[in-house]
A and B are shown apart, each in its own frame.
Chain A
Amino acid sequence: MQRDNRRLKLLTRRAALVAGGQVLLLATLAGRLYYLQIVEADKYATLADENRINLRLLAPPRGRIVDRFGVPLAANRQNYRVSLIADQVADVDATLDAVASLIPLSGSDRRRVMREIKSKHSFVPVALRENLSWDEMARIEVNAPELAGISIEQGLTRDYPLGDMASHVIGYVAAVAEKDLTGDPILELPDFRIGKNGAEKQHDLDLRGNAGTSQVEVNAFGRVVREISRDEGSPGQEIALSLDAEIQQFAAQRCIAEGSVACVVMDAPTGEVLAMVSTPGYDPAAFSAGLTSAMWNELLRDPLNPLSNKAISGTYAPGSTFKPMVALAALEFGISPETRVTCPGHFQLGDSVWHCWRKQGHGTLDMRGGIKNSCDVYFYEMARRLGIDRFAAMAKRFGLGATLGIDMPGEKAGLIPTRDWKLATFGIPWQPGENISCGIGQSYITTTPLQLATMVARLVTGKGIVPRLTRDAGIMKPDQVLAEPVFAAMGVAQKDINIVLDGMYAVVNEPGGTAYAARIKEPTMAMGGKSGTSQVRHITQAEHERGVLKAKQVPWLERDHALFVSFAPVGAPRYVCAVVVEHGGESAGGGSAVAAPICADILVEVQKRDPGRRVPGGQVADRVSTRS
């Protein structure tokens, strides 16, 4: 009993110690709970939100590009794609295998995905395949629970209703290349496309819009449970171009028939470009979807150079289309339009001889005759009297030989040579003989089709018209009074301009004019113009003596370019059109035979539609007056 009592006392003492220890430990637990839930609560609340809340970027829909009447030239179309977020995938290879067992996934797709995963933030989705069929989408969705980090997303693909008929001027969008990455995460979104050419590139930043964000709650496996908040961002701005889709389409169809052609149609008083064509074109949608290297190489190797926008990037010797500039310079210099020059078919200066395109000569001609017949000898003589610097200055005033600042990437300057330029460039002084060939727009002189159209626009308006492709005021609206752009006067005497324009009238509308065959017979729509042939290959003296080869005997790439610049209607010129047909100089008539009919057809169409004055609803503000 005594032993039991001692044992009980010992047990009681020790049990009290154990209980005391337990109280201490329980207090520790309570303290720990307090520390976690009160002291560190904010830190863990933040961590909890970081765990479960993902911020996702939403690509804004790209702005549309429309023509002057609001007809879409570039728009967006729905498309489904499957993408992968590397962050949420344990084993990328295994996941790709699993996806490949459900939908076709090519080896090159897989290599691209691996490459993209390496170069992008791991939380950014990487597209595995675009344009899924409904079946493929369903297969992925059904197996979604086993495919952590894989999701189906809706995207927008760029659609180009005019296709290759406006490919250069609209341009295209394509996936962001590594060199385009600026650190802006929106550029890393899988479906994000940026403008790579044409208006798409020119207005890329406006068209892009601002990225939206979506806060989503995800579970531990990265699957989205719900959306907490969403900021749609702002869609890209709509860009209105001055183009008229109908004219663009008509001109493109007309040009493609002649092979490699550049064409610019302009509303002269406003400088608005109504059509800008470069054939052959390409399919801009193919770039958006992703071009295969085979397609790309084919485009690169094509001798017709479909990737180049020849209307602004092609530089051609203007040939005889340059003659109005020489005529104007002569008039301004004080040479009378009545001054007569006799053309025996050739022109001699010192020991050198230059030929007229008409071997038998034109006889004696005044300025009107010189322009009408495009007599080379007449302009050789004018150039000799003026010297390069005088008519080069006139050409520059009319927009040749320097970029016009058109709102479109890729504009080339061309070249109008001067004495100083020659000395600075080659270190050799200007030779008197060089005046001669420059007088007919050959030699160093190169211009773009846009410059030629601008030249005519300045000629018919007497103002320093600057071409524009964007309508800042948006599409044309009924009853809208727009301030016509103000252009400074050219400072050239109107009577001089009238003389040149009269010559250009004669070229088309009088028998014997070089483009008489291409005249517009409808009197209210008659055009004036000037033909030109641009020598591609230097014709040697020996060849002249043997007789110039017939064009058909010359390989296509060495054939001359055919040019025509025109305006209509002749009484109150409003529309201008410049056409260059590469290697189209089939006959001695040059531009007249192939380029002039294109201009005529287009100008008829333009005058019928009258897009410069047409307002929505098909009304035309006032009819073009007949020739005075």
Chain B
Amino acid sequence: MEMETTGAQPGPANSGNGVRAPVTRRAQRRGWEQVSEHVIELFIRLCGISAIVFVFAIFFFVFREGAPILPRLDLWKFLFTPYWYPTSLGQARYGVGALILGTLSVTALSMALAVPFGLGAAVFVSEFCGHRTKEALKIVIELLAAIPSVVWGFIGLTVMNVAIQKVFRVQVGLNILNASILLALMSVPVIVSIGEDSLKAVPDSYREAAFALGATQWQIVCRVLLPAAKNGLLAAVLLGVGRAVGETMAVLMATGHAVNIPHSIFDSVRTLTATIAAEMGETAEGSDHYRVLFVIGILLFSITFLMNLAADLVVKGIRKK
């Protein structure tokens, strides 16, 4: 490595003025290649750090738009009161308590549905089915992940809305349950694919040892694989939660979009993400309302950042072992 870089420096000089021998074509080519090698390496390094740059840029620009209102915003009132009246004349009130509760309730219920199904499907795909079925199922799961969130939202607005009204005999079908089912279907592919990866990462020798003792497949799964893969499975769940918290279009269309402290799963709510999506188009640039929406953005960014950090640390835990 060291040799390569020191050898590269005289390159252009050699081919340029030809101190030693008359410049042959081969020497010229080598000189050019060494220059281009450096240029390309620099470019690759720049691209490499781009991810860091973008994460900081996202935080910076969202913060920059939201910051002017922060000194005037009572943080306690902002986070914990449920009074969201951003457009009332003279006395606009910005309390996102109800929105946070909305996000929490939808995420919690969707995870209660998605985690057992996701992990169950991950175990089935990884341990219980043959090679061909496995490949086919993985393709279907990939397609499930590809369905755009706006299409899910549309399904919630039309199919699920009517279905929930009929099955549970409630007035409004756009509620927590509706959005949670959609979110569960959306985050299951994430949970399955990462869960399956972590089950695959358990060494085969564990399975063979258990099998040699006469364990059935199910015993292997619950006594050997699940304990061995539990960090990976936890990371899968955390990433699923992150996806559910950040989802916008589906919850915008399916939750009913009413600022409301939920009392049952049939209540309409509103989430943080949906509020930004619905109201950003109608605010005047630079107004208080506009800036508060950016502050909600900072809040969302922080929540998902912590989720991802936690998932990453959990995964690191396995690797160290």
Asked if A and B bind, the verdict is no
Chain A residues with CB under 8 Å of chain B are none
